[in-house]
């Protein structure tokens, strides 16, 4: 009897191996395509989330810009905005650096610095590199100024000619600003002439902190300003203020600079003021670099919406209309979106003309470039080939941010987000805005 052996021969085994290998190749190809699509979807979603979050944070802060520093009334008293303001702090603090939008300038404690306070200040990065945006605002709800009997630097009190109601409520150690009016006809042609549109101008300002008893009625008419963290003993180098000088209650003064650092949107914050704590107060620590507000934001471009004719409207025209503007064009309607260059540059200038320019800012528009969080594979067969995105402004020329300084920038996906934000406190202020409240065709919805 012959036995029959069953099983696979060599040919069957080879065929099976070939079929298995082909199946594996097909499966791997399908997986690779699926993974590539998943990577693209995920990185696009990341960019969308990061860009939307960054715009939300910026818009919320910019809407507060100018609170407490734009108030004023034509032909009566000047606003703090645009004034050369003296700031003193025994602790280190940060101010915008006109030379570099990627960093803030650290001022050593015990040093007096002079800066121009404005609701919004843009420092241009140049050549498509990132800009920075600094906003300034106070926290007080008291907008009307008080009248003083003057102040000598180093004095420990400020005498008001009327009530101090609203200052230092319940022991709050409010920051106050003394504002000296510009009475020089050479730098303020409107002085003594109420028919001119230039209105009142500040020339010198100083920040001080009041220390009042913990009373629901606030401070007495003689404000205590003893030497301390924000009040320089002796007042060396600070200007005197004459009888009739105006004083604004700012509450806590905040300087916030938004910039790009390490491919993230970060905020440098300096807070001048202290909260009540047993009559002593808790100092605010100024940090040099906050934790990222939004990750993978690689470029920020900011432009001013300016009322070049100072008629209250920031229309949508070009840089050329604003760059040709002169002081004689006070009544011209040549409104524009402008870069922070030329006469609009944050160059640390304290010239009288810069006050006029700062007063014309009605809005800012921001373009953000968000990057996906996943880097694409860079192979010989499929090299990275991403191109820089373009910011398509609603008016004016498009601009292409410079991403060439980023490592492997071609291996990421990008999305552009932009928005226009009215500087509401400048629009509402009668001194900053003597006419209407329109902003480049976009009215403040609130």
Give the largest Cα separation in the chain, rounded: 133
E runs forming strands in 110-171 = 111-116, 120-123, 132-137, 146-147, 157-159
Q: How confident is the model at residue 19 (pLDDT cuts 50, 70, 90)?
A: confident
pTM: 0.78
CB 274 within 8 A of CB 281: yes
Tell me, rounded to whole angstroms, the distance of Cα 87 from its chain centroid: 19
Tell me, rounded to whole angstroms, the distance of Cα 358 from its chain centroid: 14
- Looking only at the bridges linking them, the beta strands covering 313-314 and 438-439 are parallel
What's the CA gap between 435 and 331, in Å, rounded?
12
Tell me, what's the pLDDT at 341? Answer: 86
What's the CA gap between 226 and 209, in Å, rounded?
8
The H or E element spanning position 29 is helix 10-62
Listed range (11-20, 92-101, 146-155, 359-368) with the worst mean pLDDT: 92-101
More confidently predicted of 213 and 443: 213
The H or E element spanning position 33 is helix 10-62
| pLDDT tens digit sequence for 391-437 | 988 877 888 999 988 888 998 888 899 999 988 887 776 555 443 33
Q: Per-residue pLDDT for 65 more than 80? A: yes
CA-angle at 56, arms to 50 and 58, nearest 5°: 100
What's the CA gap between 421 and 305, in Å, rounded?
9
Q: Per-residue pLDDT for 350 more than 60? A: no
Q: Per-residue pLDDT for 360 more than 70? A: yes
| pLDDT tens digit sequence for 219-274 | 888 999 999 889 999 988 888 998 988 899 998 888 888 999 888 998 888 888 85
- Say how many C-beta atoms besides its own lie within 10 A of residue 323's C-beta: 16
- 17's CB contacts (< 8 A; 6+ apart) are none
Tokens, residue 439: 């902003």
The H or E element spanning position 425 is helix 424-428
The residues pairing with 259 across neighbouring beta strands, listed in sequence order, are 266
Tell me, what's the pLDDT at 1? Answer: 54
Three-state secondary-structure class, residue 191: coil
| pLDDT tens digit sequence for 185-199 | 776 666 666 555 445
Three-state secondary-structure class, residue 81: coil
- 106's CB contacts (< 8 A; 6+ apart) are 92, 93, 94, 288
The residues pairing with 94 across neighbouring beta strands, listed in sequence order, are 106
| Closest among 235, 300, 239 to 265, alpha carbons compared | 300
What's the CA gap between 110 and 237, in Å, rounded?
12
What's the CA gap between 61 and 84, in Å, rounded?
23
Average pLDDT, the chain: 76
């Amino acid at each position: 009897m012959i036995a029959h052996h069953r099983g696979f021969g060599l040919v069957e085994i080879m065929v099976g191996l070939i079929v298995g290998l082909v199946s594996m190749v097909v499966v791997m190809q399908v997986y690779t395509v699926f993974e590539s699509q998943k990577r693209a979807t995920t990185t696009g979603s990341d960019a969308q989330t990061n860009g939307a979050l960054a715009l939300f944070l910026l818009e919320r802060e910019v809407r507060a810009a100018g609170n407490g520093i734009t108030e004023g009334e034509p032909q009566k008293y000047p606003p703090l905005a645009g004034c050369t303001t003296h700031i003193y702090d025994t602790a280190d603090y940060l101010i915008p650096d006109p030379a570099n939008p990627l960093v803030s300038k650290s001022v050593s404690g015990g040093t007096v610095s002079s800066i121009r306070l404005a609701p919004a200040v843009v420092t241009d990065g140049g050549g498509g590199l990132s800009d920075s945006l600094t906003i300034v605002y106070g926290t007080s709800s008291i907008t009307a100024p008080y009248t003083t009997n003057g102040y000598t630097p180093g004095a420990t009190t400020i005498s008001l000619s009327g009530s101090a109601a609203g200052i230092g409520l319940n022991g709050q150690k409010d920051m106050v600003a003394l504002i000296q009016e510009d009475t020089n006809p050479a730098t303020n042609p409107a002085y003594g002439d109420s028919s001119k549109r230039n209105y009142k101008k500040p020339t010198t300002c100083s920040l001080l902190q009041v220390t009042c008893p913990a009373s629901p009625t606030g401070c007495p008419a003689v404000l205590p300003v003893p030497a301390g963290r924000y009040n320089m003993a002796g007042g060396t180098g600070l200007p005197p203020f004459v009888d009739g000088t105006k004083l604004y209650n700012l509450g806590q003064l905040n300087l916030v600079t938004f910039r790009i650092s390490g491919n993230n949107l970060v905020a440098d914050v300096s807070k001048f003021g202290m909260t009540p704590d047993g009559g002593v107060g808790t100092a605010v620590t100024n940090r040099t670099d906050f934790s990222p507000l939004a990750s993978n934001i690689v470029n920020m471009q900011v432009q001013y919406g300016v009322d070049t004719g100072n008629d209250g409207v920031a229309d949508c025209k070009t840089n050329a209309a604003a760059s040709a503007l002169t002081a004689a064009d006070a009544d011209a309607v040549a409104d524009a979106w402008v870069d922070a260059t030329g006469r609009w540059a944050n160059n640390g200038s304290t010239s009288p003309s810069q006050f006029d320019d700062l007063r014309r800012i009605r809005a800012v528009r921001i373009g953000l470039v968000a990057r996906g969080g996943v880097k694409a594979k860079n192979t010989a067969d499929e090299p990275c080939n991403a191109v820089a995105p373009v910011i398509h402004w609603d008016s004016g020329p498009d601009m292409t941010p410079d991403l060439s300084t980023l490592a492997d920038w071609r291996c990421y996906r990008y999305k552009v987000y932009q928005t226009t934000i009215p500087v509401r406190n400048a629009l509402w202020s009668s001194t900053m805005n003597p006419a209407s409240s329109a902003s480049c065709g976009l009215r403040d919805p609130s």
